[in-house]
C-alpha cells in the first residue's frame, strides 16, 4: 500500500471519529486506486441517499491527497459493498440502454450520474462496436448519451 493511501486511511478514520460515527476504516491499493472500506454500526449512514456521504468522503480525500496520486488512480470509499453493487447496476443499465438504442435507432440519455458512474457506463460500452457513448452538457446538466456509431 502506498504512503498516500495509508495517510488517507488515517485521515478518514480521524474525520469519522470527529463526526462521532461508529465506523472503522481499512484501506488497500488496487489497480483502480486507494479503496477505503468503512465497517461498523453506522455503515448504513454512509451509503444512504445514493452514497452521498461516500461521494463526499472521496471528494475530501481527493482535495487533500489528490496531487499525490497517479492520474489513473482515484480514491474509492465504500461501505457494505455499496460501490460493487452499484457498479453491477450501472453495467446492467448500460446493456439495457444499448439494447434500446439498437431496437429504436434513437439515442438513449441517462439521468443525473456522477463522473464515476458515467465512467463505468462508458467502460462497459467501450467494447461494443456498434455503439458510442459520450457525456453531453455542462456542470449539473451533464448527462451520458448512448447512440449508434
Q: Name the band, by pLDDT with cuts 50, 70 and 90, for residue 1.
A: low
DSSP H helices, the chain, are 3-18, 43-46, 48-65, 82-104, 115-125
User: What nine digits make up the cell of 145?
Assistant: 448519451
pLDDT category of residue 138 using cuts at 50, 70 and 90? confident
3-class SS of residue 136? strand
> Are 63 and 12 members of one domain?
yes
Average pLDDT over residues 10-25: 95
Are 73 and 138 in the same domain? Answer: no
Range 7-21 average pLDDT: 94
CA atoms within 13 A of residue 10's CA, in its CB half-sphere: 7
Question: Are 49 and 26 in the same domain?
Answer: yes
Task: State the pairing for strand pair 33-39/74-79.
Answer: parallel
Domain CATH for 48? 3.30.300.20
Domain boundary residue among 40, 62, 80?
Answer: 80
Q: How far apart are CA 53 and CA 46, in angstroms?
A: 5
Pick the closest to residue 41 from 55, 26, 20, 60 (CA basis): 20
- The DSSP bridge partners found for residue 34 are 29, 75
Domain range for 76: 3-80
pTM equals 0.79
The structural domain count of the chain equals 2
If asked whether residues 46 and 102 sit together in one domain, one would say no
Residue from 36, 34, 38 nearest 47 by CA: 38
Q: CATH number of the domain that 121 lies in? A: 3.30.1370.50
Same domain membership, residue 75 and residue 89 = no
Boundary-marking domain end, from 59, 80, 101: 80
Q: Domain boundary residue among 26, 45, 80?
A: 80
Amino acid at each position: 500500500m502506498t504512503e498516500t493511501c495509508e495517510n488517507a486511511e488515517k485521515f478518514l478514520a480521524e474525520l469519522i471519529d470527529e463526526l462521532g460515527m461508529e465506523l472503522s476504516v481499512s484501506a488497500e491499493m488496487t489497480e483502480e486506486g486507494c479503496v477505503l472500506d468503512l465497517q461498523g454500526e453506522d455503515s448504513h449512514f454512509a451509503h444512504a441517499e445514493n452514497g452521498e456521504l461516500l461521494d463526499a468522503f472521496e471528494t475530501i480525500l481527493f482535495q487533500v491527497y489528490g496531487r499525490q496520486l497517479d492520474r489513473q488512480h482515484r480514491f474509492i470509499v465504500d461501505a457494505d459493498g455499496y460501490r460493487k453493487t452499484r457498479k453491477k447496476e450501472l453495467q446492467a443499465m448500460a446493456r439495457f440502454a444499448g439494447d434500446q438504442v439498437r431496437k429504436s435507432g434513437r439515442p438513449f440519455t441517462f439521468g443525473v450520474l456522477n463522473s464515476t458512474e458515467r465512467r463505468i457506463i462508458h467502460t462497459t460500452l467501450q467494447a461494443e462496436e456498434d455503439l458510442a457513448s459520450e457525456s453531453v452538457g455542462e456542470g449539473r446538466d451533464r448527462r451520458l448519451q448512448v447512440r449508434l456509431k
